[in-house]
Structures are given as structure tokens and as C-alpha cells.
Amino acid sequence: MSTHSTSARLKVILRWIGITLLFLFLAGFAVIFFMPSDWLRNMAGTTGSALLGRKFAIDGDIKIDWDWTTPEVSIRKLRIANIAKSKDPNMVAIDEIDFQIKIWKLLQAELNLPKLKFTKPKVILEKFSEAEKNWDFPALAGDETTSEDRKNLPVIGSVSIDDGKLAYRDLPKKLAVMLNLDTARGGVEAQKGMYKLSGQGTLQDQPFSLQAKGGSLSMLQNSTAPYPLTLDIKMGSTRIDVEGTIANPAKLAGMNTQLNLQGNNLADLFHLTQIPLPPTPPYQLSGHLQQRNEVWKFNKFKGKVGDSDLSGDLVYQTKSERNFVNANLVSQKLDMDDLAGFIGAAPSKGTMSPEQKAQAEREKSSPRLLPDVPIDLTRLRATDMEVHLKGKQIIGTKWPLNDLDIGFNLQKGVLHLDPLDFGVADGTIGGSLILDGQKDVPQIQSDLMLKRLSLKPFFTDPKFESLSAGYFGGQLKVKGNGRSLAEVLATSDGRITLMMTGGKISLLIIEAAGLDLGQATPLLLGKDKSTDIRCVIGDFKVDNGLLNSEIFVFDTTDSNIDGYAHINLKDETIDAKVETHPKDISIGSARTPITVTGRLKQPTIGLDPKQLAARAAGAVVLGAFLTPVAAIIPFIELGLGKDSDCRGLIEQARSHSGTNPPIEEPKQEQPKTRPKKP
């Protein structure tokens, strides 16, 4: 049924009602007064049911207070049936409707109501799927009103609502809101002809309120001018202010407004938008909101999230089978603490909500280090996204982070972080991360490469001046299953390789690590010296949450250090030991191993006097690690470059051991492919 045919049909019905009422009036008061009430109810029920394609009934009395031009009508117990799938029998149930109607306007097919009052109306709106909503009436299918159709809307002088209730349920999105509605009376708005509506209730078990204010009701018929609209929505700590115009009030379409958002947590907006945003500190954002044909645009917005600034553009499409968000976000100064919610942690300092402060206190008192906040799979599967976040300057962290560039591509519950690039200490950390949330137990796999990170920015304290040079790099390739970061790491498998070359380290530290009293004593009394670092290698295999070192070598011009490390990510404990082997002959050298044991959050560092190592040449120590070290040469070259001293160290170890294992060349990095937009 087209818009034109539906509109014409309504005009015919209105004109028929007007002629009928006028005939009854001219026929004489006797006919009017003695006309059976059942006849009016049956006529209204038959006509309404035919128009809506659903049961329409008036179960109470119909009273008419006749006037020459504007009779007053009172209708009790009006209802419109719900669809069979609903648990509520009626979609609309109204205790009483009182209105005035101008009969002569009905002859012109115009519904003119100088006064309209609803007493205890109850309206239930339900969405069972994109194709099944209880407010869709088959008989009116195809009735798509436009702004030009506003001139066909009823002309209403004033509207009032007493003790109204509005329920909205979206079953696919598991949303539910119940509002108590009343219209405002008196005040400045009434004097200016403004219309005001208020409601209070709950949304997803959170307090919810709505204040709506628009132009006069007569402005609804002016199709040449947009209708002014102001909305103030509160849900818990979240506040949404909208001020602007709407082109088609009847369809709530064609919005052109200023939107202001503020609250304690951006993730709370999911209840209203279905956009799966991460937990954040308190925020405040403002921008231009436009809506047309089920496409929402939040353009040129800017504001703050925690202690970070944020600006950008966002497009939200709701017309396809799956909602889709596309956004470009930029932060000139990004506080890394504000991203803690991505891994389920609370910020350690700065701006925090009351909930985050409570979480931070729990984390502080907990013996565990890894975040254990579960991933919300319902949110992850709700909406597809393609978001690009660029942080131009990183602040608020002890790590020397320069910038970041992250792409979030979410499709049907599978999240790809690609690119995932950090500028760190004049080098880069880059790679990809995939979170597969299609299964009940998500799987996360990461592949990160650390390339030529400078040591100097990590040691800015003057007492670490000897560590002001050199580079390090490596690769982290790990995957695991679980609902939180702690669970994923507790089941993880993979490999972690870290390397360092160049720079200097305090000779006092090296000698003291071996308790070499013969050389450490004079250094304690004089100026500390330093020794060149040739190579540091740590290669760790991860098997079902257990991290074990296969290589742990620290080589300087003065000493060789080797050891082992065992880390249990299930119970978050560590058992590690390192031992120094001086390359020169030193009288009084005890070389007692240094141990690190206990929980990851607060490990204990001590000495192991029970195990004194026998003196061994540096080449023998290196030779023992020859085979596994040679196997990771490709990663050394990717992380440190081909000019690294680590390769020379391995060649030296090979010549001392008399073996010659093959050395694999680094594999070429494959071009990255990204999922296509829906």
C-alpha cells in the first residue's frame, strides 16, 4: 500500500465520520440521545480493526456532550490487541480518552482536536527481530511518511497525559525500559506553546529518565520548517543532551542536532546504542549529530576521556542485517592509563570513576597481578566495527612510549587489532592480535615484534647513566583460551624471545652479582666503572601457561651470566636464578647465584649460598647454549639488525664448540590482509 493510497483512505474515513456526525446532529436530538451506545462501539471497533488489521475495541462507555461545532467526546477502556507472540494481550490499553472535535473540519478530511487528554494509557512496544515488531501493522504496510506528509497530521490544540506508562523491549538486544509518563502543565513552555514530556523508569536495571521538549503542536503541520526538539536523557551516571531539529517528527527521522555526552564509563552507552565500547574513566564529548535513512553521523566531536583528549568522526549504520560502526579517532595527548579497560584493569592513577577506584583498591589488595575481568561476549557479538585510533603523544606512563596506531576490526564477534603499532624508545612494537569471541570460551592469539628499542629512555635516572646506550628487541608469539586476560595467559602456548646488544653496564653490578669481593671492594670506594655489553638473549617457551627459559645468556667484556627462569602463569609464581662467570682470574670470587622467587606481584630477590658454581670459561658457558641460540638468529636480526654483536657471539660459541649447526634466514613478512567491510 503506497503512502498516497493510505493517506487518501484516511481522508475518506475522516470525511465519512464527519458526514455521519453532522447527519446525526441535524436528524434531531431525540435520535442522538436514544442512539444505543453499543452501536457506536461496534462501529468504531469494526472500522478500527479493518484499518489496523488487528483487534481494536472499546469496552467501556462512549459519551458525547454535543455542541453546535465542537462536541466533547469521552471514551473509556480503549484497547489495541498485541501480536500473538507477545506475552501481553494488548499493545495499547487506555482507561479514558477525552477530546474535543471540530465536526465541520471533518468534512474537509481534517482531524482537528482542540483538546486531547489521556488517562492511564499503557503502551507496550516490542521488537522480536528486524522483521517482527508489534508496532508494524500489515494493513498499513508501505506507509512511509515524509516531511511533506506533516500537513496531514491531526491538528491538536493541547495534549495532556495522566499516569501514563510506556514499555519498550528489544528481545534480540536484551534491552528493556519502563517509563512513567506525564505531560507538563503551566510554566514558560506552556505560555510559548511549547510541548514538554517527562518520564522516569529503569533501563537494564539502571535508573532512567527522559525529558523531551518540542515546538508547539501546531508546528507539527508546518512541513516547510524543521521541528525544534530538545532531549535530556539520564541513565545511571550517563547523561545525553540533544538540541536541534527533526525533519519528520512522526517517524523520528531526519535529526540535525548538537549532541553532548557525559558519564562515568563509555561502555554504559551499549544499553542505548549497542556499540561495544571498552570500559573507560569518566568522559565528556560534544559534536554534531545527524540522522537520515537509519544512518547516524556523529561528526567533529571532541572532548576528554579520563585524562586524554579525544576527537573524531563516527558513522553508525543500522539499516543492514548487522549494525556497523566506522570511526576515525585521534588523541593529541593520550594517557595510557585511560586504556587500562581494554585488558580489564583499572587505571593506576589520574581521573577515575567511583567504580574504577573500587576496582583499583581490589587490585591493590589482591595477591594476583593479571586482570581477571571477564570478556562480555554478548557485547562483542552485537555490532560490527571498523575503528582507527591514533595517539600522537603518549603521556602518564613510566614507559617511553612515543605514539600509537591501532585498528579495531570487529566482525561477527571476531576482533582483529591490525595495525597494532607503538612507537617506543626510538624503536617500534608492532604486529597483530586476534580475539575470537564466536565460541563460548574466547581464543586470543598475538604476534608482536620489538625492533631496535633504545635503552636510554628507560633509564633516565643519573645513577643508571652507564645503561644509557644500546638496543633491544624480540618477538612475542602467544595464544590461549579464556574469558579474561588471566585465564588466557594461564592456558597460553607460544614463544617469547628477547635480545639486547650494545651499551654499557656498571662493572660494579656485574662483580657484585658474582660476589667477586676482590674487585668489588675497591669499586665500592671509588668511582664506578662500566663494561661493554656484547649480547643479552632470553628465549622462553610457553606451554599451557608455564613459561620456561631455554636460553638465558648475558655476555659482557668482563663476565658471562647464565641462568634459568620458570614462570607459572596459572598461580603467578616465579622461580629464577642467574650466575656470574668472570672472564678474568679474581682472588676471593665466591660467585654465589642470585635467585628470584615468589609471586609475580611481589617477588623475593636473594642469594643461594648452597650452590657454588665451579669456575668455567666463558666459551664453555656459551657453547652449552649454542644449538638453541643459533636457531633464533632470524629473530635476532629482525629485532636488533644484522650488525648486532649477538651474531658474532654465536659465531664465537660455534668455533669453541667445534659444531656448525645450520642458521635459518629470516622469513619474509607476509602482507597483511584485513577483513572487508560488510
Encode pLDDT of 61-82 as tens digits: 888 887 778 888 898 999 999 9
Residue 482 pLDDT grade (very low, low, confident, very high; cuts 50, 70, 90): very high
Encode pLDDT of 524-559 as tens digits: 445 556 677 778 888 899 999 999 988 888 777 777
Q: Which helix (H) or strand (E) holds 22?
A: helix 3-27
- Nearest-CA neighbor of 104 among 114, 96, 117, 93? 114
pLDDT at 414: 95
Query: Which residue did the predictor score with more confidence, 224 or 256?
Result: 256
Return the percentage of the chain with pLDDT > 70, whole number.
70
How many whole angstroms separate alpha carbon 587 and alpha carbon 173?
Answer: 75
Residue 659 pLDDT grade (very low, low, confident, very high; cuts 50, 70, 90): very low
The dihedral built from the CA positions of residue 92, 247, 227 and 5, taken in this order, carries a sign that is: negative
Mean pLDDT, residues 431-451: 93
pLDDT at 1: 42
**What are the counts of helices (DSSP H) followed by strands (DSSP E) for the chain?**
15, 34
Mean pLDDT, residues 467-494: 88
Look up residue 466 and give its three cell numbers: 652507564
- Nearest-CA neighbor of 673 among 391, 407, 382? 407
Cβ neighbourhood burial of 210 (10 Å; 0-12, 13-18, 19+): buried
Q: Lowest-confidence range among 187-201, 270-284, 632-646?
A: 632-646
pLDDT at 488: 95
How many whole angstroms separate alpha carbon 458 and alpha carbon 427?
Answer: 12
| Residue 645 confidence (pLDDT) above 70 | no
**Diameter over CA atoms, the chain:** 130
pLDDT at 28: 44
Look up residue 455 and give its three cell numbers: 635503552
Count the neighbouring beta carbons within 10 Å of the beta carbon of residue 356: 23
- Nearest-CA neighbor of 71 among 98, 102, 115? 102
How high is the mean pLDDT of the chain? 78
| Residue 27 confidence (pLDDT) above 60 | no
Q: How far apart are the first and last CA of the chain?
A: 31
| Residue 90 confidence (pLDDT) above 80 | yes
DSSP state of 479: E
Q: Lowest-confidence range among 150-159, 210-219, 607-616?
A: 607-616
Q: Cβ(369)–Cβ(600) under 8 Å?
A: yes
pLDDT at 388: 97
Residue 188 pLDDT grade (very low, low, confident, very high; cuts 50, 70, 90): very low
| Residue 617 confidence (pLDDT) above 50 | no
Mean pLDDT, residues 554-574: 86
Residue 6 pLDDT grade (very low, low, confident, very high; cuts 50, 70, 90): very low
Count the neighbouring beta carbons within 10 Å of the beta carbon of residue 183: 17
Encode pLDDT of 393-422 as tens digits: 998 887 788 999 999 999 999 999 988 999
| Helix (H/G/I), strand (E/B), else coil: 556 | strand
Q: Cβ(284)–Cβ(304) under 8 Å?
A: yes
Query: Which residue did the predictor score with more confidence, 128 or 195?
Result: 128
The DSSP line for 30-82 is HHHHHS-HHHHHHHHHHHHHHHHTS-EEE-S-EEEE--SS--EEEEEEEEEEP
Residue 182 pLDDT grade (very low, low, confident, very high; cuts 50, 70, 90): confident
DSSP state of 139: G
Mean pLDDT, residues 599-627: 60
Q: Cβ(634)–Cβ(650) under 8 Å?
A: no
Q: Cβ(71)–Cβ(104) under 8 Å?
A: no
pLDDT at 665: 40
Residue 243 pLDDT grade (very low, low, confident, very high; cuts 50, 70, 90): very high
Candidate ranges 39-48, 126-135, 353-362; pick with highest mean pLDDT: 353-362
Query: Which residue did the predictor score with more confidence, 260 or 209?
Result: 260
pTM for the whole structure: 0.76
How many whole angstroms separate alpha carbon 175 and alpha carbon 366?
Answer: 34
pLDDT at 593: 76
What's the half-sphere exposure (Cβ side, CA atoms, 13 Å) at 502?
15
Residue 510 pLDDT grade (very low, low, confident, very high; cuts 50, 70, 90): low
Return the percentage of the chain with pLDDT > 90, whole number.
33
pLDDT at 287: 97
